[in-house]
Amino acid sequence: MSTNPWLRERAMRTAFVRRSVSTFMPGERLEDAMAAAAEQQRRGVGTIFTKLGENLTRVEEAEEVTRHYLDVLDKVKSAGLRAQISVKPTQLGLDLDKALCFDNLQRIVDRAAERENFVWVDMESSPYVDLTLDLFRRTRARSPRVGIALQAYLYRTAADVESLIPLGAAIRLVKGAYLEPPSIAYPKKADVDENFYTLACRLLSAEARQAGGLLHIATHDPRLVDRLAAFIDQHNVPSAAYEYAMLYGIQRALQQRLVQAGRPLRVLIAYGEYWFPWYMRRLAERPANVWFVIKNIFA
Ligand SMILES: Cc1cc2nc3c(=O)[nH]c(=O)nc-3n(C[C@H](O)[C@H](O)[C@H](O)COP(=O)(O)OP(=O)(O)OC[C@H]3O[C@@H](n4cnc5c(N)ncnc54)[C@H](O)[C@@H]3O)c2cc1C
């Protein structure tokens, strides 16, 4: 459903859908995200901004997105916000021209360095994994102010983790949000969860920390959150070596619990007009909501 234009057209105009998306998104404008980030900062929570949109078809659009992020980095600096940014390679033109995408990412990372900030590179569906890793490696060779998302549902991720540890890379570990075949991704949720735990422990290991790595534990799964907190305490992992990362508006009580326990936490705040595919993926993560929404769309 996230890729269905017919449904997107209709759903985005539906008041019920617009209302329900506001749980995950403070608003469509950057200003809405910045206001929400200031509020999070007062609670001791850092943020990450991402402008929704993917798979662009024109070079001009990629330029527009790049300029937008350059401006975000300036605005974040002037506002004194503890907000990083997260970008999708396809938004920077990966499908159109790889060299252009690399240049765009480089411009953003250079500006982040000037503004003492940090850029995360999202991981998209499996055909993009090699290209994204290549983009990341080349950018990371020029600046440490860039990190990459890796997906625990892919079998290959264990090997990718091993190859990135010696670089002291900042890694955001996620379960993975796309529909992937069992030939490349664990079909069972229990296996994905276990792989997440194993990979996270490896990324928190003394060897990874000595190399200078940083781990973003990006999950709302309370069981994983607690198991990894136990690992962190048991192995005296310093708070500079990791952060929990969650999406704005999801598992608020768990977020509060982490803050109260003094754990570092960042929430990713999405904004922009192109929220439909992203929203559909969020629903897919919680199937109980899906029928409720479908009934309301067609009612
Ligand atoms: C900061 C951050 C960055 C991300 N970046 C990427 C990326 O670059 N590439 C990528 O493929 N994926 C990314 N994701 C998405 C990720 O892959 C998962 O799809 C998503 O986080 C859901 O998995 P989970 O780990 O929270 O666990 P799940 O097992 O899916 O959920 C655990 C529990 O969390 C709660 N929960 C989870 N999702 C929701 C929801 N939508 N609404 C309400 N409750 C919910 C439920 O109570 C559920 O039982 C990112 C996620 C985060 C938090």
- pLDDT recorded at residue 7: 67
The structure's pTM equals 0.91
pLDDT for position 2: 66
Q: Which of 231, 220, 157, 153 is nearest to 193 (CA)?
A: 153
Q: Is the CB of 243 under 6 A from ligand 1?
A: no
Which position among 8, 111, 172, 282 bears the catalytic label? Answer: 172
Residue 291, phi then psi, degrees to nearest 5: -65, -35
Q: What pLDDT, on a 0 to 100 scale, did the predictor assign at position 278?
A: 72
Decide: 65 and 280 in contact? Cβ < 8 Å: no
Report the pLDDT value the prediction gives residue 298, as an integer from 0 to 100: 62
The CA 246 to ligand 1 mean position distance, Å, reads: 7
Encoded tokens for 260: 């109260």
CB 25 within 8 A of CB 272: no
- 219 CB under 6 A from ligand 1? yes
Read off the amino acid at residue 101. C
Displacement of CA 168 from its chain's centroid (Å): 19
pLDDT of 203 reads: 98
Write the CA distances from 263 to 45, 190, 230, integer angstroms: 10, 25, 12
Q: Evaluate: CB of 66 within 6 angstroms of ligand 1.
A: no
- Averaged pLDDT in 10-residue chunks for the chain of 299 residues: 67 65 84 97 97 84 97 98 97 96 98 98 97 98 98 98 98 96 97 98 98 97 98 97 96 96 97 78 68 62
Would you state the pLDDT for residue 177? 92
The answer to whether residues 92 and 70 touch, using CB atoms and an 8 Å cutoff, is no
Atom of ligand 1 nearest to the CA of 151: 11
Amino acid residing at 130 = D
Any atom of ligand 1 within 6 Å of the Cβ of 286:
yes
Are 90 and 104 spatial neighbours (Cβ–Cβ below 8 Å)?
A: no
User: Is 122 considered catalytic here?
Assistant: yes
Structure tokens at 62: 């990629």
Predicted local distance difference test score (pLDDT) of residue 12: 63
pLDDT of residue 110: 98
